[in-house]
Amino acid sequence: MNDVVRVTREGPIGLIALNNPPVTAASQALRAGLLEGVRDLDADPAIQVIAIYAEGRTFIAGADITEFGKPPRDPSLPDVCNAIEASATPVVAVLHGTTLGGGLEVAMSAHARVALPGTRVGLPEINLGIFPGAGGTQRAPRLAGWETALDMILSGNPISAERAADAGLVDRMMEGDPGAVARAAAQSVIDGDLPTRRTRDITVDPAPELLQARLDKVRSKSPHLIAPQKAIEALAGATGDFDEGLRRERALFQECLQSDQSRALIHAFFAERAVQKIPEADATPRPIEHVAVIGGGTMGSGIGTAILMAGIPLTLLEMTDEAAGRARRTITGNLDGAVKRGKMTADKRDATLDRLTITTEMQDLAQADLVIEAVFEDMDVKRQVFGKLDGIAKPGAILASNTSYLDIDQIAAMTSRPQDVIGLHFFSPAHIMKLLEVVVGERTAPEVVATGFALARRLKKIAVRANVCPGFIGNRILSHYAKSVNYMVEDGASPQQVDDALTKFGLAMGPFMVSDLAGLDIGWANRKANAATRPAEERYTTFADRICERGMFGRKTGKGYYLYDGDTPRPNPEATEIIEAERQAAGVTRREYTDDEIVDRYMTAMILEAARVVEDGTALRPIDVDAVLLNGYGFPRFRGGPLHYADQLGAAEIVSRADRYAQEDPYYWQIPQILRDMAANGTTFADLNRKG
């Protein structure tokens, strides 16, 4: 038929073998070959049954991602699915591996489905801001019932074939290789052992209350997202005429596909792949069989948990027996949490804890292949630790720092082996957050960088490469835009208004509530530490310091920007008074902000610093910045990241805003040349991503 689809005849059995490694993507060639194969075999009077199966590691695992964003090419997947269903000769689909998205839609169009043990089936389209648009919303409830269809389509999570069989989505489990199972299943159809029917002929009872309940749930849980609501609307059509349901599904699907949200979610999906393209990609990672962590506080315990959960033995160094005991309790608690969340069994937790050694002797780190330092954020302390470690760690061991802001090159200079020193910047809670910034020093060896990326893969994290500068990619951008909200509050907005405006924009939590949660004392300590080096031109707001001076550190003290004395936090009148007093003391005339202006200023500040990070090479590409903010800073995924969002606005708009704001504060609102050039040339960050 073509390279990816092979049709053969064995007596009355017509076999269609799909071969499109690595994941049997439903590319144009696969769709065309499959359509032609089904039609040819159906037209052949000698053929009594058609079996579709895949060679390689999986049945169709979804769309061909290289076709995303390009004009559609015939035949469309809905046409292929409808042709399979319309075949007068019964068609059986044989599922193995990960049968996802369009793959499951093809299978649901067949007249019977068998699956190999271990198969997982799912409809993950919702993660890309769309939903199954090749009949999936019409066929899934007919085959699997409402609950399973809704769960699969709205969560995007795959289920086991066994569960799918219980629900009716899979007719039979059969063992063997896919080709042999295809022949056996086809024979069963001929023998009348495996019944076949058209999915479209199944009727499904209306369930208006259930659908309404799900709609209410998605509206309250993800109020910004369009696709879940449209998916439910499409699903509702499954109780009526099939062809009408398909037409409605297609129209709603197209609406989602054309939406900014879907483009942003697809960008976010590609960002996680793009960041793996690094100059050191060809270097061979060093083997990591034993990791050590220095410091068992918030970060050390979290990093240790992540290492242990990946099955890697860990030695953790603390200063005192008491601190060591605390670290053990934290790690045990983290693992207990994983058991509660169903991520690990109790037996596995016990085995995992057996791989943990806690010590107060640095000498015990001598055998580690990688040592990650997570002690206090203080250059003198770090220097001491690395100087001592240099005399103990074995040759070739990688010496990493989890510092948030400090200079990796200065830390490396304390050792006789700067080529082995790197920044591995985890995010809190480190056993949960996906991001790992891999900070490359001036002398870090390529294979050390490659090892950082290999470690991230083992920890199931997303590594992003950053060069050395204060705060690297994420914290550097954060330090800049965090000031914008304080400026707006001193100028007249309330913390609650800022938080509300930004949560409406899509942030999971507003910045003032986040500060309350993290502890206001942390920022206070940083400000005090940096007071001496703060540029004289920089505007400084004082209300946060005054709030801390009164012992209000946020949630942990019950008071911060909010009061935490009831079920829901409410504005703290004491904080409001302090803000008002400081505003007057600074001689600021109060002004009003609209919610839109709050978002515009916040996003403009973020984009300006993000552009500087790209301009000076701290990040390899704009898409790396997006990956950092999406995976470490709670930036709303459906907006694609700050620089994807910047492209939606256009550089000219950002420059014009910043020029306007700069009239109030020229120091803060400086515009990087890269943005001015982009505005002049009409180019985008996406253009820079394409250049790589």
Q: Nearest distance from residue 630's CB to ligand NAD, in Å?
A: 17
Residue among 109 and 404 whose Cβ is closer to ligand NAD = 404
Neighbours of 387 (CB within 10 A): 14
Task: Rank residues 228 and 632 by Cβ distance to ligand NAD and give the closer one.
Answer: 632
Q: How far apart are the first and last CA of the chain?
A: 37
**Looking at beta carbons only, is 297 or 337 nearer to ligand NAD?**
297
Phi/psi for 275 (5° steps) reads -65, -15
Reported for 541-544, long-range contacts at CB under 8 A and 24+ positions apart, including other chains, are: 541/483, 541/486, 541/487, 541/489, 541/490, 541/582, 541/586, 542/582, 542/585, 542/586, 543/486, 543/489, 543/490, 543/575, 543/578, 543/579, 543/582, 543/583, 544/486, 544/515, 544/520
> Total residues at the site for ligand NAD (CB under 6 A)?
23
Of 108-116, 159-167, 191-199, 291-299, the segment contacting ligand NAD by CB under 6 A is 291-299
Nearer to ligand NAD, 294 or 620 (CB): 294
Asked if 438 contacts 403 with a C-beta cutoff of 8 angstroms, the reply is no
CB of 428 to ligand NAD, least distance (A): 3
Q: Is 653 assigned a catalytic role?
A: no
Closest distance to ligand NAD from the beta carbon of 387 (Å) = 11
DSSP assigned state of 70: S
Q: Which is nearer to ligand NAD, 318 or 447 (CB)?
A: 318
* Closest by Cα among 423, 498, 500, 477 to 629: 477
DSSP line for 582-645: HHHHTTPPP----HHHHHHHHHHHHHHHHHHHHHTTSBSSHHHHHHHHHHHS---GGGT-HHHH
HSE, CB side, 13 Å, CA atoms: give it for residue 574. 16
Burial of 446 (0-12, 13-18, 19+ CB in 10 A): middle
Query: Residue 276 or residue 428: which is nearer to ligand NAD going by CB?
Result: 428
CB of 337 to ligand NAD, least distance (A): 17
Binding segment (CB under 6 A) for ligand NAD, from list 50-58, 372-380, 532-540, 678-686: 372-380
Task: Find the part of the chain contacting ligand NAD (CB under 6 A) among 271-279, 280-288, 368-376, 412-420.
Answer: 368-376
Rule CB under 6 A: choose which of 103, 300, 474, 506 binds ligand NAD.
300
Q: Which stretch binds ligand NAD (CB under 6 A): 138-146, 313-321, 450-458, 606-614?
A: 313-321
Residue 426: CB minimum distance to ligand NAD, A: 6
**Residues in the chain, how many?**
692
- Alpha-carbon distance of 25 to 305, in angstroms, equals 36
- The answer to the question of residue 318 lying near ligand NAD (CB under 6 A) is yes
Q: State yes or no: is 125 an active-site residue.
A: yes
Phi, psi of 506 (to 5 degrees): 135, -5
* Residue among 145, 176, 179, 297 that touches ligand NAD (CB under 6 A): 297
Q: In one letter, which amino acid is 155?
A: S
Residue 284 or residue 357: which is nearer to ligand NAD going by CB?
357
Q: Cβ of residue 86: shortest distance to ligand NAD, in angstroms?
A: 57
User: The tokens of 377 are what?
Assistant: 């954020």
Residue 333 CB, shortest distance to ligand NAD, in Å, is: 15
Q: Which is nearer to ligand NAD, 99 or 401 (CB)?
A: 401
Among residues 374, 501, 548, 598, the one that binds ligand NAD under rule CB under 6 A: 374
Which position among 60, 170, 257, 299 is part of the footprint of ligand NAD (CB under 6 A)? 299
**529 counts as binding ligand NAD under rule CB under 6 A:** no
Near ligand NAD by CB under 6 A: residue from 364, 377, 597, 653: 377
* Residue 296 interacts with ligand NAD (CB under 6 A): yes or no: yes
Residue 329: Cβ within 10 Å count: 12
- Report the distance separating Cα 130 and Cα 230, nearest Å: 9
Q: How far is the CB of 625 from ligand NAD (least distance, A)?
A: 18
From the list 228-236, 318-326, 476-484, 550-558, the region that binds ligand NAD by CB under 6 A is 318-326
Name which of 63 and 327 has its Cβ closer to ligand NAD.
Answer: 327
Helices and strands in the chain: count of H runs, count of E runs: 28, 19
Token output for 300: 């050390």
Nearest residue (beta carbon) to ligand NAD: 297
Q: What track of x and - describes contact with ligand NAD for positions 265 through 284 (by CB under 6 A)?
A: --------------------
- Least distance CB 388 / ligand NAD (angstroms): 8
Considering the candidates 36, 85, 105, 437, report the single residue annotated as catalytic: 105
Task: Please enumerate, as own/partner, the contacts of 215-224 that have beta carbons within 8 Å and a separation of 24 or more.
Answer: 218/154, 224/261, 224/506, 224/636, 224/638
Question: Restricting to residues 385-444, which ones interact with ligand NAD according to CB under 6 A?
Answer: 385, 402-404, 426-428
CB of 464 to ligand NAD, least distance (A): 14
Computed over its alpha carbons, how large is the radius of gyration of the chain?
Answer: 29
Of 176-184, 293-301, 637-645, 662-670, the window that binds ligand NAD (rule: CB under 6 A) is 293-301
124 touches ligand NAD by CB under 6 A: no
Distant-in-sequence, close-in-space partners of 2: CB < 8 Å, separation ≥ 6? 29, 32, 33
Q: Which of the following is catalytic: 85, 125, 318, 582?
A: 125
Residues 16-55 that bind ligand NAD (CB under 6 A): none
Q: In whole angstroms, what is the distance from residue 95 CA to residue 522 CA?
A: 53
Rounded to the nearest 10 degrees, what angle do helices 622-632 and 595-615 cross at? 130
- Beta-carbon contacts of residue 687 (< 8 Å; ≥ 6 apart): none
Closest of 111, 273, 264 to residue 635, by C-alpha: 264
Residue among 4 and 424 whose Cβ is closer to ligand NAD: 424
Is position 87 an interface residue for ligand NAD (rule: CB under 6 A)? no
Contact residues for ligand NAD, defined by CB under 6 A: 294-300, 317-319, 323, 374-377, 381, 385, 402-404, 426-428
Active site residues: 105, 125
